[in-house]
Amino acid sequence: MFKSNIPDGALDKKWEDYKGHVKLVNPANKRSIEIIIIGTGLAGASAAASLGEAGYKVKAFCFQDSPRRAHSIAAQGGINAAKNYQNDGDSTFRLFYDTIKGGDYRSREANVHRLAEVSASIIDQCVAQGVPFAREYGGLLSNRSFGGVQVQRTFYAAGQTGQQLLIGAYQALERQVSLGNVEMYTRHEMLDIVVIDGKTRGIIARNLITGELERHFGHAVLLCSGGYGNVFYLSTNAMGSNVTAAWKAHKQGAYFGNPCFTQIHPTCIPVTGDHQSKLTLMSESLRNDGRIWVPKQQNDPRKPNEIPAEERDYYLERRYPAFGNLVPRDVASRAAKERCDAGYGVGSS
């Protein structure tokens, strides 16, 4: 039977109780434990840096020429944390619930609750690493609103959040590389996982420069290589991995679970030709904390700046008064399409 290895107990106490009772590794023994990490994006670089700092021997692999080229830089929107800076009622539970809902209720509740618990600490760690989050005039970290929730909890770095987070994780990783705690293998691709008596014992990798096959031992293997964006064809998915690692793990008997990582943006401009490798993302242009409107008059030929406020239909605010322009992307995009199809677009074209 499939085992998720989620601790027993009440949802909000599972991981706290687990951390209090899990067996610890003696610091003197950590140097004898080798850990292999596949992928050096935000997940892989953070894991390698943290485990190296903790004293373990780490080998990190990526098929790019540098961890800086990981596709994590594409995650530009922001990162959520239940710090409740605005005192607008945010909490760990609200972040947990909103994330579960955003994952279409397919996520593992215990894992999402753990994510909500550590969210505030993640922001503190990023700030300590030098990530230049946007700040208010007085110096406090700024938050902005994102759709589907009624609180402000998104920390951001202008339009470069993913890039700045990756730089912070990369610096922490390189520090451990320079200290000798992490051994970096760039231009390497994992071909298979070595499993002996049901336990992972290492990997087979190819040196993409020489073509040589290499064996690497590890007491544990972490697959941090992202998801297979190509399976969604022209999707706006930010997942840029070739998913070799996850596929090889599946061939060894690993199950697919917790599919909430799959993110499809419905707010896209249609394909214009074969030259497009993915859809063009409209993202926040259809909703956010601005005011979205169409003319109240059907087939109105006037330019937007010629239409007075009293003749504008703020349709999201009218239809969804509790959320207004902060409705989820799919709701906003369907509502916008309905208005345009009904002839309420702006301008003669």
Catalytic site positions: 329
CB atoms < 10 A from the CB of 234, how many?
14
- Name 61's Cβ contacts closer than 8 Å, sequence gap at least 6: 36, 37, 38, 39, 40, 185, 188, 189, 190, 203, 205
Contact 243, 225 (CB under 8 A): yes
Distance CA 339, CA 345 (A): 7
- Name 305's Cβ contacts closer than 8 Å, sequence gap at least 6: none
Distance CA 214, CA 221 (A): 15
- Type and span of the H or E element at 192: strand 188-196
DSSP 12-45: TTHHHHHHHHSPPPPHHHHTT-EEEEE--SHHHH
Contact 178, 49 (CB under 8 A): no
- Name 66's Cβ contacts closer than 8 Å, sequence gap at least 6: 186
Rounded to a whole number, what is the distance in angstroms from the first to the last CA of the chain?
A: 59
CB atoms < 10 A from the CB of 17, how many?
13
Helix and strand totals (H; E) in the chain: 9, 13
Burial of 288 (0-12, 13-18, 19+ CB in 10 A): middle
